[in-house]
Amino acid sequence: MRALDIKKLSVQYHTERGVHRALRDMDLYVEEGEITGIVGESGSGKTTAMLAVMGLLDKNSTVRSEKVTVCGEPPVPGVNIAMVFQDPQSCLNPTVKIGRQITETIRARRHCGRREARDRAVELLDMVGIGDGKKRMRQYPFELSGGMRQRVVIAIALACEPKLIIADEPTTALDAAVQAQILRLLKKIVEETGTALLLVSHDLGVTASLCQRVYVMHEGKIVESGTVEDVFYDPQDGYTRQLLSSAKQKRKNCGSPENQVLFRMEHVTKEYNTRDGIRDISLDFCRGEVFALAGESGSGKTTLARVLTGILKEDKGVLYYKGQPLDQKQRDRSRNKVQMVFQDPYASLNPCLTAGQVLEEALRAADIRDGSQRRRMGTVPARDNAAEKQSRSARRRDRKAEREARRKTICDMLKRVGLTEEYMEKYPSELSGGQRQRIGIARALIVRPELLICDEALSSLDAVTQEQILDLLLDIQREQGIACLFISHDMHVIRRISSRMGVMYGGRLVESGRTKEICSDPWHPYTKQLLEAVPEADPLRARRIRSLPLRKRTADKEQTGKGCPFAGECGYAMSCCTEQEPETYTFGERAVSCFLYAEKYSGRRDRDYIMTSQI
Amino acid sequence: MLRYTLKRILTGILALFVLACVTFFLVRLMPGSPFQTGSVSEQVVEAVEREYGLDRPLPEQFMTYMGNLLRGDLGVSYEDPGVKVTDIIGRTWRITASLGVPALILAILAGTFFGILRAVSRRRIVRETISAVGMILAGIPGFAVAILLLLLFSVQLRLLPASGLLTPAHYILPVTSLAVYPAAVITRLTGNALEAEMEKDYVLFARAKGLGRKRIIFTHALKNAWRPVLNYIGPASAFLLTGSFVVESIFTIPGIGREFVNSITNRDYTLIMGLTVFMGAVVIGVNLVTDLLGAWLDPAVRRAYQEEAG
């Protein structure tokens, strides 16, 4: 008996613009106890298909099918079929305690009493790797980390005791280390409970690491299916090949760094009461190079970016621009020189402004800043009466010309980022994620920055769009010779595009150096863990996802406050690691902040000893 | 949270003080004297004013009044020297509150009920009717509602009494006319908020885990939809508890609103002051309570507060 059997499933949306066929004659099955994957870019109809199976689509859609059965019966959500959604933050009710959200599911399923439901909930939490279930059940979602929340969501799915769990992008919102843990958890659950799992993902690595069979979807149709090995190693369909090649593609050619140091941070510290601060960070950014910053969420990557842009003021340390220390006044002036592309193209564009207006605003803001600067420096002559008398029409003409020039700049910029002039009049809601991110890039580039910061600029996009945006970014970067700080938790991307990289953990830069060297031979234990946690789009290699087990880290971190931030999780931790903070030890271009590389703790070395990885 | 509470209370007291100062001087800026009526001679007016201390310089009067205010003494009414202002407030406010509190409860209950219905009813006709009627009711001014109700139920149908507050039946019309506007607004707020919540992912997830519709609405969506409603309930209850002059006049109810307007026409300085300060205190107090309640209902804020308290 098949856990899920779908024959000729079609979905149509009825929108104001007419009928949109989101899904066409989809055939799909999942055997009992099997993990099956669906891959495809966003908008290919994956989620629509899953919601149609669950019967959760909105009223503006028609679903037709010859057959949709779960173990021979019609699917009933919460009874024989359950779903895990992408974002655990938004699919848990923020004002209801975790415990209640689990027990109500159990009670709806089993029609049992409160006590039984509570016991079962603790059991389920234990199963998904949350040990202190009793305590957790009294907490609200905001008190848990992202990974914890996703575990809770999985526990809720398990509470339905389903024959089939549909996991829709279950790890997309999580960082690499947590992703590996969740993937292992899903695998374990399938092995232990015999539940079938349908894994929907745009990440080929994730799919390769878990699934036995895979379906490839494109524009509402299944274009290829088969075992993971067949599809990944011998793709038949052109689209599958394109997907795979974009995931496996080798290093991109990024501009060769010139040796002119553009920005330099020295011992920069920015502390918060809670977290996300940065401590004692020293970095250089050279003209024409792509510097990548990796690390889990909350490690301070974004804080670093904000200090660089001047949105935040550093507590300690000095920033240099072309060798000159930046004080507040110069900072305002140099703000154009650093621009940022934000992570979420949906939230970072004002929904009430058209693309053209967004760009014009950026341009005008930059002009005003330049203007005030010019006036201060006295190059603009004070207006005298004669100038005042100069006919108004001349000034009006000036202004008109200026507007025209601005319009032209905007058009050029739009073309540069691969959009056409028509997009000027469009509002963000009319654009796709990729198009919005293009607007975001255009907004950053239009003021001609010298350093472009991309803060997870790709992570909310699907694989194919990611590839396009990445190409675009690198093209522009190379062409204009600007420096680029690329913040990402995706090691694939970092490996491919950056010439140098840094790894952050707990607000410290634990390792930095040439990307090639770090990726092939990580020195810091955390870097090693990070690199190993990422599944590759290669089934045989990805099956061995390893992730170091979580050591009760929160407790450790809060308790000591001193010592190496990674000591609580590190398999190589020595007693000194928890007592004092390691300095940064530099070996040529490689800098690492770990006692394994300190002479004091790992022995004196020869003068001509070439340092290698100690782990 | 503790600090926030303290801060709010202190600013409330400050606001009350400013209010008292402003009214004190504004009242005295009004032309005429409380004792100047047509038939009284100048000498008598002056004599009485001297007795009440109104001939003293303004700053001195002000200091005396503020001193008394701190002791909770609002003075006696100029119009009716035998009666203390506090007694008048006590008497009239009891009547006003006996209308305002039921009206508030009615408005909240009806508003929430229709709001939920408007957001989640499967029947389009129900949703549209509630929206339309709500819009109309929110648009009609209070006195028009009162007069219409009066015409219909006591003049035409002779079902309900028109004035006074003798029996429970007397309460029905004034309470209803007070509650109509807030109920309409609450309906709209609840409806909109709930509609927005029903679109959210956690509702989809709740459906995916097999919960019934009622469950989803009452334990999930409604729990997140109260905020705009609560923000409105603050000002609304302040309005209802300080009495509506219009409704009280139409139904000839001796409430605090009517007393207030009368005191102004009489230039009854102490009564005006007393009523203003009292109503100010009620408005500030009610808003403080709803703000704190709003913060308390947010689990994140509550947790922070509990941690702070140990």
Confidence of residue B187 (pLDDT cuts 50, 70, 90): very high
For B213-241, how does the pLDDT look when each residue is reduced to its tens digit (9 = 90+)?
888 998 889 888 888 888 898 888 888 88
> What local confidence, expressed as pLDDT, does residue A203 receive?
81
Give the residues across from A503 on adjacent strands: A294, A511
Contact B205 A91 (CB under 8 A): yes
Residues of chain B contacting residue A82, judged by C-beta atoms under 8 Å apart:
208-210
For A319-372, how does the pLDDT look when each residue is reduced to its tens digit (9 = 90+)?
888 877 877 666 666 667 888 888 877 788 888 888 888 888 888 887 765 555
Contact B299 A140 (CB under 8 A): yes
Nearest to A96 among B210, B220, B297 (CB): B220
Residues of chain A contacting residue B200, judged by C-beta atoms under 8 Å apart:
90
**Whole-angstrom distance, CA of residue B96 vs CA of residue A222:** 70
Task: Confirm or reject contact between B215 and chain A (CB < 8 A).
Answer: yes
Residues of chain B contacting residue A54, judged by C-beta atoms under 8 Å apart:
208
Task: Confirm or reject contact between A87 and chain B (CB < 8 A).
Answer: yes
Taking CA–CA distances from B213, the nearest residue in chain A reads: A108
> What local confidence, expressed as pLDDT, does residue B130 receive?
93
CA distance A53 to chain B (A): 11
A574 touches A566 (CB < 8 A): no
Alpha carbon A486 to its chain's center? 12
CA distance B226 to chain A (A): 11
Task: Confirm or reject contact between B300 and chain A (CB < 8 A).
Answer: yes
Task: Confirm or reject contact between B252 and chain A (CB < 8 A).
Answer: no
Tokens matching residue B197: 């919540």
Task: Confirm or reject contact between A126 and chain B (CB < 8 A).
Answer: no
Contact A76 B210 (CB under 8 A): yes
Task: Confirm or reject contact between B200 and chain A (CB < 8 A).
Answer: yes
Residues of chain B contacting residue A93, judged by C-beta atoms under 8 Å apart:
202, 206, 220, 223-224
Give the single-character DSSP code of B76: B
> What local confidence, expressed as pLDDT, does residue A559 receive?
43
Q: Which ranges of chain B would DSSP assign to H, the alpha helix?
A: 2-29, 42-51, 58-70, 85-120, 124-139, 142-149, 168-198, 201-208, 213-215, 222-241, 245-250, 256-265, 269-297, 299-309
> What local confidence, expressed as pLDDT, does residue A254 receive?
55
> What local confidence, expressed as pLDDT, does residue A276 receive?
66
Task: Confirm or reject contact between B122 and chain A (CB < 8 A).
Answer: no
Task: Confirm or reject contact between B308 and chain A (CB < 8 A).
Answer: no
The candidate with the shortest Cα–Cα distance to A125, out of A114, A117, A134, is A134
Alpha carbon A150 to its chain's center? 16
Residues of chain B contacting residue A155, judged by C-beta atoms under 8 Å apart:
none
Average pLDDT per consecutive 10 residues, chain A (615 residues; last block may be shorter) = 88 83 88 90 82 86 88 87 87 90 90 90 89 87 86 91 90 78 88 90 85 90 89 88 73 61 85 73 86 83 85 83 75 75 82 88 74 48 57 82 86 85 84 85 87 83 77 84 86 84 88 88 85 77 59 43 74 79 83 82 68 73
Contact B223 A93 (CB under 8 A): yes
The candidate with the shortest Cα–Cα distance to B277, out of B295, B292, B263, B296, is B263
B297 touches B230 (CB < 8 A): yes
Taking CA–CA distances from A76, the nearest residue in chain B reads: B210
Contact B202 A153 (CB under 8 A): no
Q: SS3 of A115, please?
A: helix
**Whole-angstrom distance, CA of residue B235 vs CA of residue B184:** 15
CA distance B199 to chain A (A): 10
ipTM of the complex: 0.77
Strands A324-325 and A221-227: unpaired
Contact A90 B224 (CB under 8 A): no
Taking CA–CA distances from B209, the nearest residue in chain A reads: A78
Q: Is pTM, for the whole model, over 0.90?
A: no
